[in-house]
């Protein structure tokens, strides 16, 4: 005779989500000695896909600095595993590893899944996760840089400028508490000012409107909160901004203005114009741009703590 079932609880234990993300499992180690952690779940929320990151740690002793790569896609699409089509994964991620830097590539919620600040909350959750498990992962949680392109460049700039901005921008995704400051930022052709996109992006399906959940004119405070230029007056890590001068998607003026404001506030910011290059560096050779970005990150992340 079967026993009576116990009392029903909700949610069932198998559906309950732990308040802290589970620690990473053992990595796979390649013939090159690189330790690879694939599909680490750094944040989960009921109703959303888990946010995942991949981490590659170069061979060698001691904790190494880590660079968080943030993909582009107009905040609407994209995947942590793929750089823009003009740049190969080996060139981008391989160059970081060959320079002795770990690289974490992250997914984040797209704008149709959740409006801003969900995307920034996810970036910061990934930073907290890496810092929390740095000892297990073999990385140095005190030396984290961010590098992004297009929408990812925008999020990288925001992450660099809002390390002490408080809970509204830090969020409580994943590991809810912890430092989200970073030591260096590389921003490839990212948006700096959401309000300016009202005139620059006239398409009725303007991604900025979906990203904000309304037009910048209708949501001026949120548009300001989502704009890196808003925070340029605050102390910031060193910035490297690389941008095509013929970019018709995100005009070169975005990087120029952000760098000017950062320098006016006493921060270090360098702009590298790419003459004649369109968005995603069409019409340009990306190899020297990757090399310059990696050298910048290696220089700032290898500095004595």
For residue 265, what are its two tokens?
A: 């506030």
H helical segments located in the chain: 89, 95-98, 118-132, 134-137, 151-161, 167-170, 197-200, 207-212, 220-225, 253-264, 286-301
- 243 belongs to the catalytic site: no
Q: What is the DSSP letter of 207?
A: H
For residue 303, what are its two tokens?
A: 């500095």
- Look up tokens 């009202």; give the residue: 198
- 150 belongs to the catalytic site: yes
Active-site annotation holder among 243, 254, 279, 300: 279
H helical segments located in 38-88: none
Distance CA 32, CA 24 (A): 21
Active-site annotation holder among 196, 247, 254, 300: 247
Dihedral sign computed on CA atoms, order 240, 237, 50, 113: negative
Cα three-residue angle 298-300-303, rounded to 5 degrees: 100
Distance CA 198, CA 20 (A): 39
SS3 for 92? helix
**Residues 158, 194 contacting (CB under 8 angstroms):** no
SS3 for 254? helix
Distance CA 237, CA 185 (A): 7
Active-site annotation holder among 56, 150, 196, 227: 150
Distance CA 190, CA 120 (A): 14
- 54 belongs to the catalytic site: no
Candidates 22, 13, 11; CA nearest to 175 is 22
Which residues are marked as active site? 150, 247, 279
């Amino acid at each position: 005779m079967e026993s009576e079932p116990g009392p029903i609880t909700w949610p069932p234990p198998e559906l309950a989500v732990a308040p802290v993300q589970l620690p990473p499992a053992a990595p796979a180690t390649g013939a090159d000695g690189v330790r690879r952690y694939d599909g680490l779940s750094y944040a989960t929320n009921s109703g959303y896909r888990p946010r995942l990151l991949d981490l590659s740690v170069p061979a060698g002793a001691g904790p190494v600095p880590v660079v968080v790569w943030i993909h582009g896609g107009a905040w609407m699409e994209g995947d942590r595993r793929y750089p823009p089509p003009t740049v190969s994964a080996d060139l981008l991620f391989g160059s970081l590893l060959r320079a002795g830097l770990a690289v974490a590539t992250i997914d984040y919620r797209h704008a149709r899944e959740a409006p801003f600040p969900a995307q920034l909350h996810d970036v910061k959750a990934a930073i907290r996760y890496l810092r929390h498990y740095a000892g297990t992962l073999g990385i140095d949680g005190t030396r984290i840089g961010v590098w992004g392109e297009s929408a990812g460049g925008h999020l990288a700039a925001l992450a660099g400028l809002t390390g002490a901005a408080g809970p509204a921008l830090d969020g409580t995704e994943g590991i809810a508490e912890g430092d989200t400051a970073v030591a260096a930022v590389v921003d490839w052709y990212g948006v700096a000012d959401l309000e300016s996109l009202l005139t620059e992006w006239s398409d009725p399906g303007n991604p900025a409107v979906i990203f904000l959940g309304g037009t910048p004119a209708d949501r001026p405070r949120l548009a300001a909160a989502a704009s890196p230029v808003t925070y340029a007056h605050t102390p910031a890590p060193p910035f490297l901004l690389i941008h095509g001068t013929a970019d018709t998607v995100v005009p070169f003026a975005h990087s120029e203005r952000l760098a000017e404001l950062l320098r006016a506030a006493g921060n270090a910011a360098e702009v590298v114009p790419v003459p004649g290059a369109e968005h995603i560096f069409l019409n340009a050779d990306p190899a020297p741009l990757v090399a310059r970005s990696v050298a910048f990150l290696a220089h700032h992340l290898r500095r004595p703590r």
